[in-house]
């Protein structure tokens, strides 16, 4: 995998209020190149909101985001889009686009580069999707569509990749395949931020975990530290076990905890 540009992203006291409800409160976090970060937390914790702020879909109402130490407000929308590629939760194409044409949409922030066809081919190759380049996206399976969408993220070579629940609705084979792809991308120097519900995938593949609850950052750090039975029990109300098995960190949710 090609070496990419590097980008360090910091959130400083990030806050977001929507319809008089604070969905994010005082988030301080830094996302570094070569790091695969998972944002986890129960439903409604603010994962998607944080990702939307990072991708520039929503504007934070407090604090700020910095790209390599520069506030993002200094960037135009297009410049910012060149730094950050974003895959929202349940992105459905409106038209029966061909896979390659969907991927090419990822190049929009760059205008129409002369080598766009080559870049699309390269991005599809990265996700092992060349064989369905000419198929309409409506005829792809869920896993194939997700791979095409990931190719769309990669085609512009933005250093920051943000994806919201990329593994949702995929079978385990495709889940593993997808996480391996993200792992490889992080290893190539991308700054990768994923929102994940599946904590075992997060524990296994990610370098860093951000645990959110009610819009607050409860804990951040390596999976071993964040996925402590006490913390997980507190946040999710679930008894869990964490064990290392042949170099792979395994997270197992065992049972419900009786809540007082």
Q: Which residues bind another protein (CB under 8 A)?
A: 52, 55-57, 76-78, 80-82, 84-88, 91-98, 101-102, 105-106, 108-109, 136, 138, 152, 162
Nearer CB in complex with another protein: 50/240: 50
Q: Indicate the residue among 85 and 232 with the shorter CB distance to another protein.
A: 85
How many CB atoms sit inside 10 A of residue 2's CB?
A: 9
DSSP letter (8 states) at residue 105? G
Strand-pair category, 208-213 with 62-67: unpaired
Nearer to another protein among residue 82 and residue 204 (C-beta): 82
Residue with Cβ nearer another protein (66 or 101) = 101
Q: Which is nearer to another protein, 85 or 124 (CB)?
A: 85
Task: Give least dist CB 204 to another protein, A.
Answer: 27
Q: Do 233 and 219 contact (CB within 8 A), yes or no?
A: no
Q: Are 160 and 54 in contact (CB under 8 A)?
A: yes
CA 104 to mean position of chain CA atoms: 20
**Are 113 and 107 a contacting pair, CB within 8 Å?**
yes
Q: Which is nearer to another protein, 157 or 209 (CB)?
A: 157
Whether residue 135 contacts residue 186, with contact meaning beta carbons closer than 8 Å, is answered with no
Question: Nearest approach, Cβ of 113 to another protein (angstroms)?
Answer: 13
Per-residue tokens: 171: 């079978």
Residue 233 beta carbon to another protein: minimum distance, rounded to whole angstroms: 33
Q: How far is CA 82 from the centre of its chain?
A: 16
Q: In what order do the strands lie in the sheet with 70-71?
A: 21-31, 9-18, 62-67, 70-71
For the CB of residue 93, give the shortest distance to another protein in the complex, in Å.
6
Per residue, what are the HEC states of 214-233?
CCEEEEEECHHHHCCHHHHH
Q: Minimum distance from CB of 56 to another protein (Å)?
A: 6
d(C-alpha 25, C-alpha 94), whole Å: 34
Which residue is listed with tokens 């959110």? 212
Query: Closest separation between CB of residue 236 and another protein, Å?
Result: 27
Name which of 136 and 233 has its Cβ closer to another protein.
136
| Residue 20 C-beta: closest distance to another protein, Å | 21
Closest residue by Cα to residue 154 from 54, 87, 78, 58: 87
């Amino acid at each position: 995998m090609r070496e990419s540009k590097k980008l360090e992203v910091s959130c400083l006291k990030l806050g977001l209020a929507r319809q008089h409800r604070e969905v994010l409160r005082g988030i301080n976090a830094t996302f570094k190149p070569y790091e695969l970060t998972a944002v986890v937390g129960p439903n409604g914790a603010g994962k998607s909101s944080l990702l939307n702020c990072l991708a520039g879909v929503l504007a934070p109402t407090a604090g700020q985001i910095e790209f390599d130490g520069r506030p993002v407000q200094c960037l135009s929308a297009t410049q910012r889009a060149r730094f950050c590629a974003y895959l929202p939760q349940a992105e459905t194409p409106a038209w029966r686009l061909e896979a390659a044409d969907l991927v090419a949409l990822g190049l929009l922030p760059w205008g129409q580069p002369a080598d766009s066809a080559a870049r699309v081919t390269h991005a599809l190759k990265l996700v092992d999707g060349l064989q369905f380049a000419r198929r309409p996206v409506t005829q792809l399976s869920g896993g194939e569509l997700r791979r095409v969408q990931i190719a769309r993220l990669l085609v512009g070579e933005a250093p920051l990749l943000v994806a919201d629940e990329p593994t949702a609705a995929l079978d385990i084979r495709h889940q593993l395949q997808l996480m391996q792809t993200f792992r490889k991308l992080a290893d190539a120097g991308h700054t990768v931020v994923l929102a994940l519900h599946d904590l075992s995938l997060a524990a296994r593949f990610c370098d860093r975990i951000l645990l959110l609850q009610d819009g607050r950052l409860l804990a951040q750090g390596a999976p071993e530290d964040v996925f402590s039975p006490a913390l997980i029990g507190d946040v999710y109300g679930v008894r869990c076990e964490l064990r290392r098995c042949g170099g792979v960190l395994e997270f197992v949710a065992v049972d419900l905890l009786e809540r007082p």
